[in-house]
Chain A
Amino acid sequence: MTAHPILDVRGLHKRFGDHHVLKGIDFTVEPGERVAIIGGSGSGKSTFLRCLNFMEVLSEGEIRLDGTRIGLERKGTVTYPEKQLCQVRERLGMVFQQFNLFPHMSVLDNVMEGLVTVKGLPKPEARRIAEAELAKVGLTDKHSAWPGRLSGGQQQRVAIARALSMQPEILLFDEPTSSLDPELVGEVLRVIKQLAEEKRTMLLVTHELGFAYHFATKVIFLADGVFHEVGTPDEVLKTPSKPRTQDFLRRFGEFAF
């Protein structure tokens, strides 16, 4: 018996006007899986992640979360009631390249915000959870700081704590280290690695191929709007079978030492 997928994507298409970015993606995620998504710039990696939590509306296809279809289909047209999307987004935490912290709130308030406003928890309880999440990402001493005063690495760790505070079933990371100075990348990757050790279900879009290799249970190479090659880290990153993947990895490794 196989565990039933927590996330099930079928026939996903996304168009921006005439620009057909995702061209029919079928994809499942089992609980505890960690998926790394790689691919060229503009290949649609972000768009794919953003479709999963409905930051973008699908042009075609369907998404099931824990077996339940998202959206209401009536006479061939699908609508997405806001209430349902809010619930979905609560269950899928997202971490952005640009952190997107709320600059007018302290670090602690950033992490408490979803607990209070979305989950409706009383403040003391929200505070307790937020403090625990901040401790987990190593920011116990920054509760009252303004986000704008923190380094990029610290800001991204707050953003991770904010996502974790909602106890999401799946975490989506969209290039979480791409806007960081090189010396700050490690502190964020260490937090993500720790989440991997806790067997959390995660999807990670990244250009850090070395990290992807150690982190992922499955690697996807996205090209031309489809999952061009899918496999274990060894299969995709060490012995890719498709020329296109080999080419991508070669260009990536060009200046490695």
Chain B
Amino acid sequence: MNYVPDFSIVTDNWIVLLRGLLVTIEIWIPSILIGLAGGFLLAQARLARSGWLRGVSLVYVELFRDTPVLIQLIWFFYAFPILVGLQLSPYAAALLALVLNTSAYASEIFRGGIRSIHRGQMEGALAIGMSRAQAMRRVILPQVVKRMLPAFTNRTIEVAKMSSLASVISVHELMYQGRLLSSTYYRPFEILTAVAFIYFVLIYPGTFLAGRLEKHLARSN
């Protein structure tokens, strides 16, 4: 191999990559936070008494789980505006798609978690006079979160990686900037390696902290 890597191309353009990283974070964090809230509501609907609510929630979840994320992103950018007569910015379309997608997955995690907490826990809470909402907040959810933490961590990582797909609808996130730089300077090796490394540095601390948190929560077992 006679190729001599030259990483100065990366350091010279660090500001471009940084800008991309910031946009990646701007997609990632809201997608997770709003997606978790949406997933919680969807899970409630899925466990509701009303058959109508259960049905809507089920159809929603299956639609998002059983189609590729890539098509979801592109659909919300190109097709959705035709449906509602309102053009979305690439960022808004990507955020919308990822929020809805995350909601679908998070709802399954919540649903599994809530169902796995023994019925006696809800009853124990109600029996001392708690409302359902209080029981959910004080008794059920803390146990769900603990039990489901690995699944939530996984999802968080998935979404960070999925956000790179937003480059196809020209969201100026990290992947987009990386591809732009590499085609401008014909230095794909240095630039794509650097981009992969940045993703790793972004995601790994989260995985690490989640592992620590899991251990901390497991102390009551």
Contacts and interface: CB of A to CB of B under 8 A. Distances in A.
B220 A103 contact: yes
Contacts of A55: 123, 126-127
Contacts of B143: 103-104
Interface residues of B, number: 23
Contacts of A53: 127
Given A102-B124, A102-B139, A148 B221 contact: yes
A96 B130 contact: no
A82 B130 CA distance: 10
A148 B121 CA distance: 14
A101 B128 CA distance: 11
Task: Pick from B124, B125, B220 the residue with the most CB of A within 10 Å.
Answer: B124
A22 B139 CA distance: 31
A212 interface: no
A96 B220 contact: no
B146 interface: yes
A87 interface: yes
Interface string B113-151: 000001011011111111110100011001100100000
Contacts of A89: 126-129
A227 interface: no
Interface in A78-96: 82-83, 86-87, 89-90, 93-94, 96
Nearest to A111: B128
Nearest to B117: A103
Given A113-B138, A117-B134, A148-B221, A100 B123 contact: yes
Contacts of A21: none
A146 B220 contact: yes
Nearest to A116: B138
A114 interface: yes
Contacts of B219: 146
Task: Pick from A83, A87, A100, A163 the residue with the most CB of B within 10 Å.
Answer: A100
A126 interface: no
A53 B217 CA distance: 33
B128 A162 contact: yes
Nearest to B219: A146
Contact of B128 (A104, A105, A148, A166): A166
Contact of A101 (B124, B126, B132, B146): B124
B220 A114 contact: no
Nearest to A91: B129
A135 interface: no
Given A82-B132, A146-B220, A148-B220, A104 B142 contact: yes
B129 A118 contact: yes
A59 interface: no
B83 to A, nearest CB: 39
B129 A166 contact: yes
A104 B217 CA distance: 8
A98 interface: yes
A105 to B, nearest CB: 8
B124 A100 contact: yes
Task: Pick from B118, B130, B220 the residue with the most CB of A within 10 Å.
Answer: B220
B120 A86 contact: no
A166 B124 CA distance: 13
Contact of B130 (A93, A118, A148, A159): A118
B75 to A, nearest CB: 41
Interface in A101-141: 101-105, 113-114, 117-119
A176 to B, nearest CB: 13
Contact of A102 (B121, B132, B134): B121
B139 A114 contact: no
Nearest to B127: A94
Contacts of B121: 100, 102
A13 B153 CA distance: 48
A163 B124 CA distance: 10
A207 to B, nearest CB: 20
B131 A82 contact: yes
Interface of B: 118, 120-121, 123-132, 134, 138-139, 142-143, 146, 217, 219-221
Q: Which 3 pairs across A and B sit closest by C-beta, in order of nearness?
A: A100-B124, A90-B129, A114-B128
Given A90-B128, A104-B146, 6 more contacts: A82-B132, A94-B127, A100-B123, A102-B121, A103-B221, A117-B134
